[in-house]
Amino acid sequence: MIFTIKAFAKVNLSLDIIGKYPDGYHEIVSVFHSIELFDLLTLRPICKKNLILDSNIKIENNILQKIWDYISSKYDIKSGLYVNLEKNIPLMSGLGGGSSDASAFLYAINLIFSLGLSRKDLVNLSINFGSDMAYFLYGGMCLVEGRGERVTKLKEYLKEKIILVLPKKGISTSFAYDLYDKNSKTTDYTEGFFEGRKSGFIKTGNIFEDLILPLDPDLKKIKEVLNENCEWNLMSGSGSAFYAKTKKIDTIREKLSGKARVIVSSFKPLELELIEF
């Protein structure tokens, strides 16, 4: 048996930091939305009781191995698993690729080995590996709070086509949060987003964009190009990717040539689906 599952990227429609926990984690309020960009996991059970992982990129800090070790031991899985991870979501982009891969993998293990776990069970398990994994077990548009573990599914989802602007360099999450600690400020972008939706508008905002762009001339230039040629645009997560609504794709590609890759995507009400071949 061979299985595949798509691990979809997300963007942050809003992102505020409202506090910091004693253990060092930050308390966030954010609206996440899944988009049409995904990594692809291909999985095949094997006799040998271990995890074999192949990928088109070098994998560091292997969260999939940590999940496998924990779940296979906890639920006494007798066989092993071969996994091929085809990465399409850029690293350090703010699009959630690593967490999405991890959630898709956890979801797939549950079904392949008939563990019988509910989504609530999977969410509770996911907290052991990453606080922002929980959202990817829901997908669509969600309000995400706390460390990222509190997820409220929203009834609506957006339908606009968008572009993704993927700069050559990424931004580490730790760098972004350290920057916030040194320059903390109060924002209410999430409240503004919901107020805008009452009138049918998309009003976005991201505290990390406020903090990072003044320090990075390359990203600041990208933002200027997007401001000139888009209806709206925003950095996702802690960066470095942007997303935008525009009709001037060719103009943006020309102006950002050599600085960033521009691809077409869209908002989607996507949820995880394991396909068996």
User: What ranges do the domains of the chain cover?
Assistant: 3-156, 161-266
Reduced 3-state DSSP string for the chain: CCEEEEEEEEEEEEEEEEEECCCCCEEEEEEEEEEEEEEEEEEEEECCCCEEEEECCCCCCCHHHHHHHHHHHHCCCCCEEEEEEECCCCCCCCCCHHHHHHHHHHHHHHHHCCCCCCHHHHHHHHCCCCCCCHHHHCCCEEEEEECCCEEEECCCCCCCEEEEEEECCCCCHHHHHHHHHHCCCCCCHHHHHHHHHHCCCCCCEEHHHHHHHHHCHHHHHHHHHHHHHCCEEEECCCCCCEEEECCCHHHHHHHCCCCEEEEEEEECCCCCCEEEC
Of 132, 223, 255, 268, the active-site residue reads: 132
Q: Could you tell me which residues are annotated as the binding site?
A: 90-100
Query: pLDDT tier at 222 (50, 70, 90 boundaries)?
Result: very high
Q: Could you tell me which residues are annotated as the binding site for ATP?
A: 90-100
> Is 132 designated active site?
yes
Of 10, 223, 255, 268, the active-site residue reads: 10
> Is 182 designated active site?
no
What CATH architecture is 161-266? 2-Layer Sandwich (3.30)
> Over the stretch 176-211, which tens digit does the pLDDT of each residue have?
999 999 998 899 999 999 999 988 889 999 999 999
Q: Give pTM, 2 decimals.
A: 0.96
Question: Above pLDDT 90, what percent of the chain?
Answer: 93
What CATH architecture is 3-156? 2-Layer Sandwich (3.30)
